């Protein structure tokens, strides 16, 4: 297990060899010293968008639908968002937006598979495993601005780099 400190907070990462199998946001690092190499790898994932070939992660043991959804999510570029419905369509089940929400909630490798880039159909910010403060901080680091308060919080507009596919 390794610990990294990002601007959004602490992150614990469990790896098997060089393959990331779990990421826990906001977890208490105990007495561990921050791993600057790991922090750089995670920051690269966030900055560059789709997961670089050099960052290995595992979705082993997950159902096929979950793997399809998370693989589609991993391809969302930094500064862009997709809706749950768009990911459902990308996974071959266009009417399964709620099921996509469940997959996002169980994402074992957030940051690496950027589930913070998934929003409601009205561009509202919805739940996030690390908490809404993390989701807002991660999206803000990608250039997003917000409107509203609390549960009604949503994206105010597109970033310069956002292009819908």
What's the rounded Cα separation, in Å, for the pair 124 and 147? Answer: 9
Long-range interactions of 92-99: CB distance < 8 A, separation 24+: 92/68, 93/65, 96/65, 97/121, 99/65
What's the rounded Cα separation, in Å, for the pair 120 and 101? Answer: 9
Instruction: Judge whether 115 counts as a catalytic residue.
Output: yes
Task: DSSP for 18-71, please give it.
Answer: TEEEEEEET---TTPPP-HHHHHHHHHHHHHSSPPTT-EE--TTS-HHHHHHHH
- Of 13, 73, 90, 115, the active-site residue reads 115
What's the rounded Cα separation, in Å, for the pair 45 and 102? Answer: 23
Which residues carry out catalysis? 115
């Amino acid at each position: 297990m390794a610990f990294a400190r990002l601007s959004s907070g602490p992150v614990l990462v469990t790896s098997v060899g060089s393959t990331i199998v779990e990421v826990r946001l906001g977890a208490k690092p105990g007495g561990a010293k921050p791993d600057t190499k790991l922090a750089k790898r995670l920051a690269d994932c966030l900055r560059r968008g789709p997961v670089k070939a050099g960052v290995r992660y595992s979705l082993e043991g997950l159902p096929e639908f979950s793997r399809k959804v998370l693989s589609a999510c991993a391809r969302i570029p930094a500064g862009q968002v997709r809706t749950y419905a768009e990911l459902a369509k990308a996974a071959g089940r266009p009417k399964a937006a709620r099921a996509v929400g469940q997959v996002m909630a169980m994402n074992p490798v957030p940051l690496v598979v950027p589930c913070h880039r998934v929003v409601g159909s009205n561009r509202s910010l919805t739940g996030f495993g690390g908490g809404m403060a993390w989701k807002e901080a991660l999206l803000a680091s990608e250039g997003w601005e917000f409107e509203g308060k609390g549960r009604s919080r949503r994206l105010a507009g597109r970033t310069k780099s956002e292009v819908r596919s």
